[in-house]
Chain A
């Protein structure tokens, strides 16, 4: 090989990208030619200099990217899954939804932020002055304020409008009627899905009470947040054979927009096989647009020796 040919081949030789026979020729030449060896040294120096230029992403960037990705993926589904929120609590609700949304584990940092915020938001959920509840066992707490508006006037003074909420902390056992009533109220708290999730989580182990079961059924049917609906479904597991519960579940299965909820309802319904379930599943197969839910549905029908098609 000539010096020109070897010089041209050196970059690819350095990266090990030459054909074996050409590589062999280059090596033979380098062995005998000091000028070309110097060229190879220059190539190595260039590579070393470039190596120093490599950047590592800042440590927090990856975590931020993952978090943003989860939110972006969630937004992809948002119109079909749940209501869009344009109010200031929207981001909080989204974060909380993400926390409870099945399967997206790297949303936990967002959920943690939401949980930190929970203490603040929880203060809003009931007006003790009107509830008539005994305040025994309560402790007075801080005044929580939020600024609504700031208005300067012509005299150089400033008018600041702020909302104040007096926070009280009540503690008691779940079998305490007052605590139970508060939790049932909290399970219907319209502005705060976090509080609803927590309340339903606590109530779900007491579904033997008709009052609690009714609240769980209401949550499964009407709650806008799929995390709350899933929690309520957990609470209804032991009543999956109850005709009234099954009737509600069948309605939920055909109208709920969240595939995770529909899958859980299918699991509850097929635990007690009956003709009505077959009919509901057959109807669902015909209208289901999520391939995974449809597959679960078809498998359930096959297990029940029922036709997969609708009639």
Chain B
């Protein structure tokens, strides 16, 4: 057991050393290394943007902007935090801008892109499709509707903290680092987000 744990720690250490070498190569202009770095993280970046913004187009914009900023600014990366934290700082900043702009416009795309094509957000709980009974489908629709309303009611920062903790599984301390705030402030955001959602969802959960 102890050996397994030691093995895992050692594997992580090796991965970190490798990543540091890749980052240094990128800093020296190696585009192969840049590709390697992008491929290591881009799926999770796209998933985060997609889930936060509920729009394939916006997620695509965030992806481009984030990795271009990485490309332009990698020379300023000084290894004083993990690359993951540095990258997510960039990604979350861009996503927060999108969410804030959307709040100002009071818009929320109702149709989102999924693997099965465009799906209305209100129908996103109907994956059980034809097999679900009408009562169940109605309930799912109501729940989806209420969750969308609950999420729309969160501030951009609450939404971000909730997304990073609930869906991405990051610790609040890391989230605080990424958002340039304290772990305590991130805790408060998560608490408020959960309370708001429970308030809006009421008797449905």
Q: Which residues of A contact B (CB under 8 A)?
A: 8, 11-12, 15, 17, 42-43, 45-47, 49-50, 52-59, 61-62, 64-66, 68-69, 72-73, 76, 101-106, 259, 290-292, 295
Complex contacts, B43 vs chain A, CB 8 Å: 57, 62
Question: Are B64's CB and A69's CB within 8 A?
Answer: yes
20 CB < 8 A contacts A-B: A11-B190, A15-B172, A15-B190, A45-B205, A47-B166, A49-B204, A52-B127, A56-B114, A57-B47, A64-B60, A66-B38, A69-B38, A69-B67, A72-B68, A73-B68, A101-B31, A105-B32, A291-B29, A292-B28, A292-B29
Question: Are A68's CB and B64's CB within 8 A?
Answer: yes
Closest to A17 in B: B172
Complex contacts, A49 vs chain B, CB 8 Å: 143, 147, 201, 204-205
How far in angstroms is the closest Cβ of chain A from B117? 8
Q: A104-B35, A292-B28 are in contact. Are A53 and B144 (CB under 8 A)?
A: yes
Question: Are B71's CB and A73's CB within 8 A?
Answer: yes
Complex contacts, A102 vs chain B, CB 8 Å: 31
Question: Are B54's CB and A55's CB within 8 A?
Answer: yes
How far in angstroms is the closest Cβ of chain B from A67? 11
Closest to B116 in A: A58
Question: Are B29's CB and A57's CB within 8 A?
Answer: no
Partner of B205, one of A42, A53, A292: A42
Known: A53-B144, A56-B50, A103-B30; 6 extra A-B contacts, CB below 8 A, are A58-B113, A61-B50, A65-B46, A66-B38, A104-B31, A291-B28
Closest to B171 in A: A17
Complex contacts, B197 vs chain A, CB 8 Å: 46, 50
Query: How many inter-chain contacts with C-beta < 8 Å in the A-B complex?
Result: 122
Complex Cα distance A50/B201, Å?
11
Majority secondary structure of chain A interface residues (helix, strand, loop or mixed) = helix
Question: Are A46's CB and B191's CB within 8 A?
Answer: no
Interface 1/0s, chain B 97-138, versus A by CB < 8 A?
A: 000000000000000111100000000110100000000000
Is B18 an interface position by the 8 A CB rule? no
Is B59 an interface position by the 8 A CB rule? yes
Partner of A55, one of B31, B51, B68, B190: B51
Closest to B62 in A: A65
Q: A57-B47, A65-B60 are in contact. Are A15 and B28 (CB under 8 A)?
A: no
Closest to B117 in A: A58
Question: Are A46's CB and B201's CB within 8 A?
Answer: yes
Complex Cα distance A164/B148, Å?
57
How far in angstroms is the closest Cβ of chain B from A129? 44
44-65 of chain B: CB within 8 A of chain A: 46-47, 50-51, 54, 56, 59-60, 63-64
Partner of B59, one of A12, A53, A57, A295: A57
Question: Are A57's CB and B198's CB within 8 A?
Answer: no
Complex contacts, B77 vs chain A, CB 8 Å: none
Q: A12-B191, A45-B205 are in contact. Are A56 and B115 (CB under 8 A)?
A: yes
Is B194 an interface position by the 8 A CB rule? yes
How far in angstroms is the closest Cβ of chain B from A110? 14
Closest to B193 in A: A11
How far in angstroms is the closest Cβ of chain A from B146? 9
Complex contacts, B114 vs chain A, CB 8 Å: 55-56, 58
Closest to B192 in A: A11
Partner of A62, one of B28, B42, B127, B187: B42
Complex Cα distance A42/B72, Å?
46
Complex Cα distance A101/B34, Å?
14
Complex contacts, A8 vs chain B, CB 8 Å: 191
Question: Are B46's CB and A61's CB within 8 A?
Answer: yes
Q: A58-B56, A72-B68 are in contact. Are A103 and B47 (CB under 8 A)?
A: no
Q: A11-B191, A73-B68, A295-B28 are in contact. Are A50 and B35 (CB under 8 A)?
A: no
